[in-house]
Amino acid sequence: METRQGRARELELSAQNAVTLTRTGLRTLLGLGADDALDVRDAGDAETAAATVDLPQLVAQALAQRAEMQAWSRQVEMHAKELRAEQGGHLPRVNAYAAYGLNERSPEFNFDHDNLTLGVTAEVDLFAGGATSARIEGARRRLAEARALRERTRLEIEEEVQKAFATLQESVARQHVAESSSVSANEAYRLVEQEYRNGAATVTRYLEAEADRAQAETGAVLAHFDAQTARANLQKAIGYWK
């Protein structure tokens, strides 16, 4: 029992150090100082979140919120406008003009001698040496490249969301199993403890039941935080954090 107690104390110290290092890393990530308060709270029930989400809806939300998808959509829109502008080089350029004046040599203005000129001019390039066609082709190529990169980004985002969603579902299922195992281990420990007090169980059986309970509780805690991590990764994949 002293050996087990010493081992448990070592694990406790290791866990406390891991918590301290994790909090330090979180402070650095959030830009907090050593004296700033840091309150870590549960983000919610991951099982409830997994049961209420819909994968197609999450994918659509990710495509609408992810910054890289928005950037490539703007690039496609910009290059489409550029292509339309370059294609206008084959169209005639029409200009309208108007002029108003007075035909009077004396300093006295006489509006009976005024005149008004209106006109429209049209210009068409009969030969540009292929420069207009080259600009159109370049704009069309840039538009095709932007569309291809936008499509690749869309596929990568969809894959990331699907993987995060599947990981969350698995983590929630593992959490449920681990919690059930913890309940069973606690009940088994309670029964063995009663038998040990009544002299019906050996100390070895008692220690085994205690170790099984501790291991099951540890597994339940780890499974719980694995589910929370999977939930955070899913939120990241859909662009929840900006």
pLDDT at position 51: 45
φ, ψ dihedrals at 206, nearest 5°: -65, -45
Which domains are seen in the chain, by residue range?
Answer: 54-237 (1.20.1600.10)
**Which range, of 12-21, 70-79, 154-163, averages the lowest pLDDT?**
12-21
Distance CA 196, CA 202 (A): 6
CB under 8 A, 24+ apart: contacts of 17-20? none
pLDDT at position 50: 45
pLDDT at position 39: 75
Residue of 38, 134, 44, 135 lying closest to 85 (CA atoms):
135
pLDDT at 181 over 70: yes
**Which range, of 50-64, 81-95, 175-189, averages the lowest pLDDT?**
50-64
Phi-psi region of 39 (alpha: psi -120 to 50; beta: other; left: phi over 0): beta
